[in-house]
Chains A and B, each alone.
Chain A
Amino acid sequence: MTPKSALRAEAAALLAFFEAAGAVPVEADLLLPADTLLDLYGEDIRARAYVTHDPDRGELMLRPDFTVPVVQMHMAGGAEPARYTYMGEVFRTQAAGSGRPSEYIQVGYEVFDRADPTRADAEVFALFAQALAPLGLRAVTGDMGILMAAVDTLSTTDARKAALRRHIWRPRRFRALLDRYTGRVALPPARAQLIRAMQAQGAGALIAEAGPEIGLRSAQEVAERLAALVADGAAPPIGAAEAEVLGVILSLKAALPDAYEMLCDVCVDLPGLAPAVDRFAARIEALIAAGIDVGELPFEASFGRTTMEYYDGFVFGFLAPGRPDLPPVATGGRYDAMTRHLGGGREIPAVGGVIRPELVSRLKAEARP
């Protein structure tokens, strides 16, 4: 076990590296208001973060990540464009018996810049690649924007697209929705029965005899959803060809240039995908311009799909090859939507990532003869 002082030195070296690249060092509180985090991440964060209570401030969480406080700080009055770096502990509860640390240091780099988001993607990736170069890690990239654009181009109702987009980060539920929208799986019997009863008796009568109106969700809201269910029942299924193309995109794993070729082919069937594929191509150019050898750089369309749901564009990770026991050494991505969510009406394109110095130091030590 590396002593904490050595880990701090490792972290300080990374922080100095990001400062030299032009980032302003910033600090963030250790105790963060729970409501912001809960609103953003949902109930799952309670299982992952340490929750505590303050007599005046109510429920608080020990900082589970830096992104939220750094975004809040920037949205509250940071100058534009901005580049920040930070280092410090984050706290995550781990599964019983997993042996993974529940307290570890992160060093991060975040870019808030409207000028050229694609170039900012490449800048962050190239900087991380440079900082981690001596470790011989395997880099992997993904693009949540491609997945979202693919959903948007489906020829189906807006309600169905919204439902699919909402569950992009939950592959099982996404698959269940898609199976229903393509007609592969029949409507649940209770739903079919309900629609028949509504056609026979009318929604108003059914609601009136169901029970008294209790709670905040009103009879009006129930009636609106019933209307939406009938509309959904009447919508034609998503065609098998389209669903197949979506499946091809979701399972796409190839080196970046090959992935680009395949996405271009897909555009023949889904022309709506073209703007997202153009951005993908522009990012490859930007990566090349930043000195990255993209020829062998892996692209996995579903990379990042099961992790934090705030990423909505380019995503990347740096993994120790042959060490599936270790978490990624570094991860990052674009999170424009989060700045909108936390910005109170304002937004700014943002991209960044974090490194775990403890893993850097461990891999360095293991590499020494």
Chain B
Amino acid sequence: MTIRLGVPSKGRLMDKTFAWFAERGLEMRRSGSEREYAATVDGADVELMLLSAGEIPRELAAGRIHLGVTGSDLVRERIPAWDQAVEVVAPMGFGHADLVIAVPRLWIDVATLDDLDAVAAAFRRRHGFRLRIATKYHRLVREFLRDAGVADYQLVDSQGATEGTVAHGTAEAIADITSSGETLRANHLKILDDGVIHRSEATLFRARGATWGAAERRAMDDLSRRLVRTTV
């Protein structure tokens, strides 16, 4: 049995993943037409599976793939106790994005989480409900705010265009992924000084719960040697 490697099935993430492995002597390419989600690897005992980047955490957690490439933000958000389920093989140096908490630039009285907490208390007294933070990263944001001791807020789900929720009046603050901060600025938002929840990048993960027999371990050792040799 070979080891199964899940990689993103489209876009820049797929291209950069292919390039990253190619630099390490592993040529990947789609087999058949552009529409077919199958691919092959030359020179290694690896079966390539093209998957949606969002599904790779689930496949890793279930152990249906041995290795997977996806954003570290998605793994931390979607796999409970992620570090028990997967192991980081290598950060890949692309797909950088920060998960941050941002508030309106108008809020010149708010620079830190301390301020956000104090404002949440005052907001609840005045408006009669908890200050709303729009996000799709519920687990990461909740854990971060709990550790920081921030109270009197609520999370509202936003699966897209999250930066616009404040202007639309459906949230008071947001927690979202940003790479350059451009979209935040355009929407009159600013990042809290201590509001970086996670610095995400594309990462090669190993699933602890996949089948790791002698053959898979041999294939993994072989792969690791090639990755290490060319990374250094």
Contacts and interface: CB of A to CB of B under 8 A. Distances in A.
B118 interface: yes
Given A191-B111, A217-B123, A170 B188 contact: no
A42 B149 contact: no
A214 interface: yes
B154 interface: yes
Given A194-B111, A222-B108, A46 B142 contact: yes
Given A43-B142, A225-B109, A215 B169 contact: yes
Nearest to B129: A39
Interface-central residue, A43, A194, A210, A224, by most chain B CB under 10 Å = A43
B229 interface: no
Give chain B's interface residue range (CB within 8 Å of chain A): 35 or more
A212 B151 CA distance: 27
A216 B166 CA distance: 8
B117 interface: yes
Contact of A167 (B122, B130, B151, B155): B151
A43 B107 contact: no
A225 B122 contact: yes
Contacts of A194: 108-109, 111
Contacts of B188: 211-212, 214
A39 B129 CA distance: 8
B171 interface: yes
A96 B81 contact: yes
A196 B111 CA distance: 15
A173 B130 CA distance: 19
Contact of B155 (A43, A166, A214): A43
B104 interface: yes
Chain A contact residues, majority secondary structure:
helix
A119 to B, nearest CB: 33
Contact of B193 (A96, A170, A190, A222): A190
Interface string B119-159: 10111001101110000001100110110110111110000
Give chain A's interface residue range (CB within 8 Å of chain B): 35 or more
Contacts of A163: 118, 121
A30 interface: no
B108 A226 contact: yes
Given A97-B84, A167-B151, A217-B172, A44 B106 contact: no
B167 A42 contact: no
A59 B105 CA distance: 32
Contacts, number: 111
Interface in B94-123: 104-109, 111-112, 114, 117-119, 121-123
A210 B169 contact: no
A176 interface: yes
B181 interface: no
Interface-central residue, A39, A207, A217, by most chain B CB under 10 Å = A217
Interface string A93-106: 00111000000000
B93 to A, nearest CB: 29
Contact of A44 (B111, B126, B142, B171): B142
Interface in B61-108: 80-81, 84-85, 104-108
B149 A176 contact: yes
Contacts of A213: 106
A289 interface: no
A217 B149 contact: no
Contact of A215 (B84, B114, B153, B172): B172
Interface string B168-211: 01011000000000000000100001000000000000000000
B121 to A, nearest CB: 6
Interface string A190-219: 110010000000000011001111111101
Nearest to A167: B149
B145 A43 contact: yes
A170 B84 CA distance: 28
A192 B26 CA distance: 55
A172 interface: yes
14 contacts: A42-B151, A43-B146, A46-B142, A163-B121, A167-B151, A176-B149, A188-B112, A188-B193, A194-B111, A210-B106, A212-B188, A215-B166, A215-B172, A225-B118
Interface of B: 80-81, 84-85, 104-109, 111-112, 114, 117-119, 121-123, 126-127, 129-131, 138-139, 142-143, 145-146, 148-149, 151-155, 166-167, 169, 171-172, 188, 193
Kindly list the 7 A-B residue pairs having the minimum CB-CB distance in the complex, ordered from nearest. Answer: A173-B149, A211-B105, A96-B81, A190-B111, A96-B80, A170-B149, A215-B166
Given A170-B149, A210-B108, A217-B104, 6 more contacts: A95-B81, A97-B84, A163-B118, A215-B104, A215-B166, A216-B169
